């Protein structure tokens, strides 16, 4: 695929790009598939300053998250299947991308182990996508977090990245990010979970 080929060429190189650009590339790779699976795709992009990042790594993470969200929607009985991609500035040093779905959700006891290599609930799954995505996020000085209110209640994956690799060194390991409740995601309401809303 042309986009994958272009990314393969620049792997390992830091580029100044907006997360929106990378998200759009990931959606170009998955968007048609989502439509075929009767999944509605929603975009919620906030103000997104450019970020100095290895776009190949970010693309791979988003690709994995979108693929998982698609599988989760396939497994759900919900009539209106939604995946939303949300981009937000966390503060003046961090950006975040959320992939929200209203699919099969994650059991509370599984939340702690979904990032472990080999953990999969899919017949043909390898349990490698989230594990490698977490390693790539950490390698970029970022984090990858999962949230689900439980089985049947959808899931949200939040990738946080420093605006520049320098932000990583001024925030050494162990220092906490701002509490998530200060921001509209990870989701705290059905709207944030991307669940079908009554028309207003
Ligand atoms: N959006 C989601 N909703 C519900 N469960 C999820 C979601 N994303 C991941 N999971 C759970 O986490 C498990 C691990 O995901 P991961 O991407 O690591 O592996 P996989 O999708 O099973 O296989 P692969 O290695 O091919 O990606 C999945 O099998 C699924 O149980
Ligand atoms: Mg996967």
Q: Is residue 194 part of a domain?
A: no
**67 CA to middle of ligand 1, Å?**
9
Residue 91 is part of which domain span? 2-7+15-168
Q: Is residue 173 part of a domain?
A: no
pLDDT in tens, 25-55: 999 988 788 888 899 999 999 888 999 999 9
CA–CA dist 20, 22 (Å, integer): 5
Looking at the structure of the chain, the number of domains it has is 1
Q: Of all protein residues, whose CA lies closest to atom 10 belonging to ligand 1? A: 68
pLDDT in tens, 116-156: 999 999 999 999 999 999 999 999 999 999 999 999 999 99
The pTM is what?
Answer: 0.83
Q: Are 142 and 159 in contact (CB under 8 A)?
A: yes
CA–CA dist 106, 149 (Å, integer): 7
64 close to ligand 1 (CB < 6 Angstrom): yes
User: Lowest-pLDDT range, 17-21, 109-113, 157-161, 171-175?
Assistant: 171-175
Question: Residue 23 maps to which CATH number?
Answer: 3.30.565.10
* CA-CA-CA-CA torsion sign (147, 185, 18, 49): negative
Q: Is residue 193 part of a domain?
A: no
Q: Where does the pLDDT of residue 18 fall: very low under 50, low under 70, confident under 90, or very high at 90 and above? A: very high
């Amino acid at each position: 695929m042309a986009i994958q080929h272009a990314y393969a060429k620049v792997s390992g190189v830091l580029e100044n790009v907006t997360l929106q650009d990378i998200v759009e590339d990931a959606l170009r790779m998955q968007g048609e598939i989502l439509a075929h699976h009767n999944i509605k795709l929603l975009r919620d992009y906030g103000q997104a300053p450019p970020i100095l990042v290895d776009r190949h790594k970010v693309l791979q993470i988003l690709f994995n998250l979108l693929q998982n969200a698609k599988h989760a929607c396939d497994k759900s009985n919900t009539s209106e299947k939604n995946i939303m991609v949300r981009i937000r500035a966390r503060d003046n040093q961090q950006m975040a991308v959320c992939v929200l779905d209203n699919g099969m959700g994650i059991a509370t006891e599984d939340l702690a182990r979904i990032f472990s290599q080999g953990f999969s609930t899919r017949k043909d799954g390898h349990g490698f996508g989230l594990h490698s995505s977490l390693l790539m996020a950490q390698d970029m000085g970022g984090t990858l977090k999962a949230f689900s209110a439980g089985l049947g209640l959808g899931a949200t994956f939040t990738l946080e990245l420093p605006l520049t690799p320098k932000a990583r060194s001024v925030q050494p390991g162990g220092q906490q990010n701002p509490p998530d409740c200060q921001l509209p995601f990870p989701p705290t309401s059905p709207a944030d979970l991307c669940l079908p809303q009554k028309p207003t």
